[in-house]
Amino acid sequence: MYFLAVSTWIVVSDLALEKMDAYTLKNTQLFKGLLFTVVTSVILYVVAYSNYQRILRKELDYKRMFEGSPHPILIYDIETLRLLKVNQAFMQRYEYSEKEAEKLEIMELCLPEDKLVALDFVRKVASKPFSESGTWKQITKTGKVFYANITSHATVFKTRKARIIIITDIDEQMRAQNAIRSSEKKLKSLIDNTPDIIFMVDIKMNLVTYNAAFEAIYNMSFPERNGLRTPMPMQEIPATMFGEKWLENIRQSMQGQTIREEDMYVVPTTGREICLDIVMNPIYDVNDQLIGVGCISRDISERKKTEEQMTKQLSQLREIAWIQSHELRQPLTNIMGLASLIEADAEDPKEIKSHVSLLHQACEKLDDVVRGIVKKIRG
């Protein structure tokens, strides 16, 4: 556009000066040259000033973005790995002054045990325009460690090849996630170490999780797809493991009911019959939406045997008490009466002999009763 305008000006002005005399032509050409110089100078100044203002605005915008960012940002030399520039957020989070930061190498922000891995990673991304570096542990000047998500991209800083790193502090989120994972691990360990059989069925009647006791008693495990466990439809599980009664109880619990009952069950792996105390509870998410049913089954076979034994012993004790109050009292009363007669007839040998004979009979009857009691106690 500039070339076209200048060319048009030169051609048109020269054609207009052809009919002028020499003196007028000389003065007019001088004026035309001065006018051309002034006009082009003004145009060039305006263009240059406009470009300068645009560059200045970009620099100011960049500076505001760099300095005003709430995230720590640094620029480092990809050859020396030294920090070239850091923002205010970096100095606050890492506890370095600007002068101290400019003496650091990028590796000094990593934990000692991570430096070799980090150095290898920095070398790999040096030629990439952009890189999402993932989550790293960072260390401050005073030794505080925090988790950070790091992204970087290539740039040029004062003619030097460099990279800008933007650091997002995710320490609170990571520590919260680690705490949740730790709690989940402890809970899983607790569930897996209990002898109770625990499993969960989702609302689509799929078996989605179970504990070690379940796996041991049923000798089964989840099918895997691409290395991940996949839910198992309850209808595909052999009937010997979960009969129709179990499925019906699960369906009832899906309606929000808590089901509890005792049931005899044959262990598929051993054929041993056990008694289970079964509890099924509906499970809800944080929005109170039903997501499935949890089942806890406890083997109470030994407890049932103990209860039966205690019931039998209690029955024996009641029978012994009845014997004591009825059968045992009669011979004792006879013995006491005969002893009184013997004492009264102490001078008549015949009467004494008769009473002693009866006394022996009463003692034998008492002995039979006592033997019967002992026999019942021994079972």
Distance CA 307, CA 275 (A): 13
State mean pLDDT over 299-316.
81
Q: Between 275 and 44, where is the model more confident?
A: 275
274, 297 in Cβ contact below 8 A? Answer: no
Tokens found for residue 221 = 């495990």
Percent of the chain with pLDDT over 90: 32
pLDDT of residue 185: 87
Tokens found for residue 321 = 């008490």
Instruction: Give the DSSP letter string of 257-287.
Output: --EEEEEEEE-TTT--EEEEEEEEEEEE-TT
The topology under which CATH files domain 70-174 is Beta-Lactamase (3.30.450)
Q: Per-residue pLDDT for 182 more than 80?
A: yes
pLDDT of residue 27: 65
pLDDT of residue 368: 74
Q: Between 60 and 171, where is the model more confident?
A: 171
pLDDT digits (tens, 9 = 90+) for 84-108: 999 999 999 999 999 999 899 999 9
pLDDT digits (tens, 9 = 90+) for 292-305: 999 998 988 888 88
State mean pLDDT over 262-268.
80
Tokens found for residue 269 = 């792996």
Select, from the ranges 4-13, 57-66, 269-278, 280-289, the one with the highest average predicted confidence (pLDDT): 280-289
195-299: what CATH class?
alpha beta
In this prediction, residue 290 has a pLDDT band, given cuts at 50, 70 and 90, of very high
State mean pLDDT over 213-217.
83
* Fold matches, 70-174 and 195-299: yes
State mean pLDDT over 203-231.
74
Residue 248: C-alpha distances to residues 240, 254, 280, 295 (Å): 15, 10, 11, 13
What is the CB-side half-sphere exposure of residue 323 using CA atoms within 13 A?
A: 19
In this prediction, residue 324 has a pLDDT band, given cuts at 50, 70 and 90, of low
Distance CA 246, CA 238 (A): 12
pLDDT of residue 227: 47
pLDDT of residue 181: 86
Q: Between 315 and 125, where is the model more confident?
A: 125
State mean pLDDT over 104-118.
93
**Cut 0.75: pTM above it:** no
Report the chain's mean pLDDT, rounded to a whole number. 80
pLDDT of residue 20: 63
In this prediction, residue 308 has a pLDDT band, given cuts at 50, 70 and 90, of confident
Domain locations along the chain: 2-65, 70-174, 195-299, 309-378
pLDDT of residue 217: 79
State mean pLDDT over 268-295.
88
pLDDT digits (tens, 9 = 90+) for 325-373: 556 666 666 666 666 666 666 566 666 667 667 777 777 776 776 677 6
Q: Per-residue pLDDT for 314 more than 60?
A: yes
Residue 377: C-alpha distances to residues 4, 12, 33 (Å): 128, 139, 138
State mean pLDDT over 173-200.
87
